[in-house]
Structure 1
Amino acid sequence: MKKLFLAVCIFFFALPSQSLAQFSILRKIPVKPVLDVGFSTYGNPPPNMELKLLGSRAFNLAMLYEVYISDYFTFNTGLGVSVERYSFDKNVTLRETINSQNSKIVGIFPLPYSDIRKSLLSPTYLDLPVEFRAVTSTGRETFRFIVGFKAGVLVSAKTKIKYGTGDDIRKEKLHDDFFLNRFRYGIYGRVGYKNLHLFTYYSLSDLFQSGKLSPNQEVMPLTFGLSFLMF
């Protein structure tokens, strides 16, 4: 998945807007690709769950179907895939544990290694975005203003630990749901010119299931960065 997003990013950067105009057949297709590349964070982090901003990244790829309301407004919906990673600033990871009521929860545990290179949580979602788009002119050289809502379902999640031991670099991956919310929803916006936009997404749902994170605290994700609209 990571290699796929990298390949798409390179394609977007390598292909100038003038070249895109030559794809007359593709431009007539109502399904449009949108790529978001940015950073993942959350407000009010629980103790020891602070993040490294540069290591916490977000990649979203969506295929949107355009319905024209007028020359200046469109309604768009489709499907998307979001891969997020939360890189912990402290040498900790998430593990399943048992609370005082003998219920399974997820806790924050220190790592036993001395040379920690990275420790992160990475969930992947399948999203259903719905948005309204306004443009200032009918040509491609236009400003766009987009507001939207998306709901998603958790597809997979994993933790990854990279650490040094002697002259070796080792990696540990654990695939689990970590009591993440199976469903999420939130609002987003984009603003930009031509193919390049700024975007932000704010989740209205907790990253974890209610009462399943120790310490019991809401974790509300926020992502922001650059968007690339192909056409």
Structure 2
Amino acid sequence: MKRLLISALVIFLTAPGFAQDNKKDTVLVITADTVKNNNKKSITIRIGSNGKDTTVTEIKPSSGFSVQFVAARFDLGLSTYRDNGSFTLQPANSYLERETWKSSNFGFEFFQMGYRFNSYFKIYTGAGLDWNHMRLKQNITFQKDKPTLTYVTETIDFKKNRFSSQYLRIPLSIQLRTKDDRKGNKLNFVFGPEVGFLLNGKIKQVSSENGKDKSKDDYNFNPFRYGAFARLGYGGTGVYVKYYGNDVFADGQGPKDFKNLAFGIMLGF
């Protein structure tokens, strides 16, 4: 890094001389070479003049490893559930009936680290947050601190009765992408496994009688979940699907073989 700064400074100071000799503007260009040279990537400093580039120096071989804080992979979609392999609820689980278009999934990632093998292939892991919101149809309230998922039926007619879970999500992503097209965009395909750790459960209810009412508890959600995901996009936008292999609720504390599927649009590869 020290050599890079010194070289850049020298070139910057001498650039006006070139400009005066040629009577034309001279542009200092610093680029990261994406072509491997002797199995090492390099940073190249060049001076551009009269439409031609003259390589001055080539320094700092670097690996493809990176660690960074990001704001990426914003998911916004629908959250649905499979009850014993069917999207139709069994009669015993009818209390979990939801409003389809208001049961949503939202999430994003704020950290990632990985290794890029070349311009087309990368493996990375990361960390983010993920919410699933069930918009319940029935006027029920789930109870806190119970050994199993327990609810009471209310006489209140809720305008909103939302039952939510929040997880820390940790994906392992395998990224495949194409060359830049004429617009400078790539086609991306990312897939891999994902695990999650429960942060909290939440109920948000809105009614004429009580106004807004919120409460938090684990509500018997599974403390650990695992699944797989896939993302397909162009440029910075795309679509995603996520499916979790274990039950939404902890073993023996809620409906058995009740699994979550989420899909929708995403921003920020």
Q: 1:1-231 maps to which residues of 2 (within 5 A)?
A: 31=68, 32=70, 33-44=72-83, 45=89, 46-62=93-109, 63-96=111-144, 104-113=147-156, 115-138=157-180, 140-165=184-209, 170-213=211-254, 216-229=255-268
Contact 1:81–1:124 (8 Å) recurs in 2: yes
Give per-residue Cα distances to partners, 1:154-185, cap 9 Å, x unaligned: 111111111113xxx61222211111111111
Number of residue equivalences? 193
State TM-score, norm by structure 1: 0.76
Partner Cα separation in structure 2 for residue 227 and residue 66 of structure 1? 21
- Is the partner of 1:54 in helix, strand or coil? helix
Contact 2:144–2:217 (8 Å) recurs in 1: no
Find runs of 4+ consecutive structure 1 residues off by over 4 angstroms.
none
Deviation at 1:65, TM superposition (A): 2.7
Can you give the 5+ residue segments of structure 1 that lack an aligned partner in the other structure? 1-23, 99-103
Deviation at 1:205, TM superposition (A): 1.4
Partner Cα separation in structure 2 for residue 54 and residue 64 of structure 1? 31
Give the alignment's Cα RMSD to 1 decimal.
Answer: 2.3
Contact 1:131–1:148 (8 Å) recurs in 2: yes
Partner Cα separation in structure 2 for residue 51 and residue 224 of structure 1? 16
Rate the CA distance shift 1:218–1:72 in 2: closer, same or farther, 3 A: same
Give per-residue Cα distances to partners, 1:68-109, cap 9 Å, x unaligned: 1222111121111112211112222322587xxxxx211243
Can you give the 5+ residue segments of structure 2 that lack an aligned partner in the other structure? 1-30, 32-65, 84-88
Percent identical: 24
Which protein shows a greater Rg? 2
Contact 1:97–1:106 (8 Å) recurs in 2: no
Partner Cα separation in structure 2 for residue 30 and residue 178 of structure 1? 35
Give per-residue Cα distances to partners, 1:19-42, cap 9 Å, x unaligned: xxxxx9xxxx75342211112121
Query: Using CA pairs below 8 Å that are at least 6 residues apart, which structure has the higher relative contact order?
Result: 1
What is the letter of the counterpart of residue 223 of structure 1?
A
